[in-house]
Amino acid sequence: EVQLVESGGDLVQPGGSLRLSCAASAFNFNNYHMYWIRQDPGKGLVWVSRINQDGSATIYADSVKGRFTISRDNAKNTLFLQMTSLRVEDTGVYYCAKDGGRSNPDYWGQGTLVTVSS
Amino acid sequence: DVVMTQSPLSLPVTPGEPASISCRSSQSLLHDNGYHYLFWYLQKPGQSPQLLMYWISNRASGVPDRFSGSGSGTDFTLKISRVEAEDVGIYYCMQGLHIPLTFGQGTKVEVK
């Protein structure tokens, strides 16, 4: 069964940086777009970023553009999110998700908590 | 951005009874290929979201047939024919046609 395991979440001060990782298994990782999606403390879901199969095309939500960078290592079946200049409003659980082939996430990881606070 | 509006936001249900959730988008979700890029997810307590329905009315793998989806254009509905205790959680609609992908606020389904 598809497995996505996120890591790297932590408590960080405003202006700080963090790198999230997502280890994928049980599917052909390099055949699929991948996503990062944040769940706010109030439970709202916010799409953050998407990367294509070979990493040549990325797209971001306006709120994170210029601060976050999505990347992937297909040799290691791993997705990354480099987060810089973090803001309080970036706080939440970050999920990585696999594309279902219809411009939608189908499988989601268990999430990793990022807390931005002084 | 496309705004997705769900109603109700809270839905107390009685096991065995039907339930219905509405989702409205601020723009059409109809792709040139004829499919509406409207999806439903369920987040059970303590779990990550799971895909329920794709393209309005197609059940994802393993989803029971008591779940059904309908609608077109900008108005969509998720129905549960007979609610079971395992159906509690937060239901989200999501549009996948326009970037950024956007989600509804969520509808919390609880057993009465």
Place of tokens 């999230």: A20
- Contact (CB<8Å) B105/A109: no
How near does any CA of chain A get to the CA of B47, in Å? 7
How near does any CA of chain B get to the CA of A59, in Å? 9
Structure token digits, residue B10:
């809270």
Cα–Cα distance measured from residue B48 to residue B41, given in angstroms and rounded to the nearest whole number: 10
* Mutation target vs B (from A47, A51, A52; most B CBs, 10 A cutoff): A47
Q: Check: CB of residue A39 under 8 Å from CB of residue A92.
A: yes
Residues of chain A positioned with their CB less than 8 A from the CB of B102: 47
Cα–Cα distance measured from residue A75 to residue A54, given in angstroms and rounded to the nearest whole number: 11
What torsion, rounded to 10 degrees, do the Cα atoms A106, A110, A113, B1 define?
A: 10
Residue from the list A47, A100, A102 with its beta carbon closest to the beta carbon of B100: A47
> According to the model, what pLDDT value does residue A6 have?
98
Q: Looking at residues B50-70, what average pLDDT do you find?
A: 97
Residue B71 has pLDDT above 90, yes or no: yes
Residue A87 has pLDDT above 90, yes or no: yes
**Number of residues assigned to chain A:** 118
For the four alpha carbons of A110, A116, B1 and B3, in that order, the dihedral sign comes to positive
B105 touches chain A (CB under 8 A): yes
B63 touches chain A (CB under 8 A): no
pLDDT per position as a tens digit, A13-69:
999 999 999 999 999 999 999 999 999 998 999 999 999 999 999 999 999 999 999
Residue A4 has pLDDT above 90, yes or no: yes
Mean pLDDT of chain A: 97
pLDDT per position as a tens digit, B6-35:
999 999 999 999 999 999 999 999 999 999
Residues of chain B positioned with their CB less than 8 A from the CB of A102: 35, 37, 39, 54-55, 96
Residue A56, C-beta contacts closer than 8 angstroms, at least 6 positions apart: none
> According to the model, what pLDDT value does residue A7 have?
98
**Closest among A40, A28, A45, A38 to A99, alpha carbons compared:** A28
- Contact (CB<8Å) A106/B51: yes
Residue B63's SS3 state is: coil
Compute φ and ψ for A41, nearest 5 degrees. -55, -30
Numbers of helices and strands, H then E, in chain B = 0, 11
Q: Check: CB of residue A104 under 8 Å from CB of residue B94.
A: yes
Structure token digits, residue A17:
């940086």
Portion of chain B with pLDDT greater than 90, in percent: 98
Residue B112 has pLDDT above 90, yes or no: no
